[in-house]
Amino acid sequence: MSNVKLAIVYYSSTGTNYQLAQWAAEGAKAAGAEVKVVKAQELAPQAAIDSNLAWKAHVEAAKDVPVASPADLEWADAIIFSVPTRFGNMPSQMKQFIDITGGLWAQGKLVNKVVSSMASAGNPHGGQEATILALNTTFYHWGAIIAAPGYTDPVIYAAGGNPYGTSVTVEQNGTMREQVKDAVVHQAKRTVTVAGWVKKGLEG
């Protein structure tokens, strides 16, 4: 069986979900996957970005990360999404990206993709779970297979115990309140493992 191909698609304004994406890539590579990390296109006006020093700094730091395209999803066997919450939903930047996947959906090219999601917010109950569930609604339409972490490893409890996907609370200064790296790595490995089973079954 050929290696599982994983696309990690994230949106990050100040860097949290960029870091989650990097940890997910680390875990997936350790599981033997071929990994591609891409970002949702920034849609905010430059004036808004410039008004927030952390946002401006992160845009500059991530300028070399490729912008996500539907071709990345077509290439992938598995996809991990990572986003900050916006009123309990995904940010408009990620919604815009998802909205341009209609062509792939119509051709059935998103069926049986193995998907998993992560989220962040400024408060422990700031919408992380709702955001992951909102992402999942799209995946049902795709006919994708959702690989939730559940409670499959003790590291999930240590990270706050979100069975839908790893989530993290971000302080005003940008630091992560929970220690989530191990949970992210586990979630990525689990996603790749499930995708391997699916790929093997489809090839068989």
Q: Which domain holds residue 108?
A: 5-203
Total number of domains constituting the chain: 1
The domain that holds 46 is classified in CATH as: 3.40.50.360
> Comparing C-alpha atoms, which of 147, 161, 138, 118 is closest to residue 12?
118
pLDDT tens per residue, range 18-65 = 999 999 999 999 999 999 999 999 999 999 999 999 999 999 999 999
Handedness of CA 124, 142, 144, 73 (dihedral sign): negative
Report the predicted TM-score, pTM, of the whole model to 2 decimal places.
0.96
> Which conformational region is residue 8 in: left (phi greater than 0), alpha (psi within -120 to 50 degrees), or beta?
beta
Burial 121-155 (b: 16+ CB within 10 A, else e): beeeebbbbbbbbbbbebbeebebbbbbbeeebeb
For 86-139, how does the pLDDT look when each residue is reduced to its tens digit (9 = 90+)? 999 999 999 999 999 999 999 999 999 999 999 999 999 999 999 999 999 999
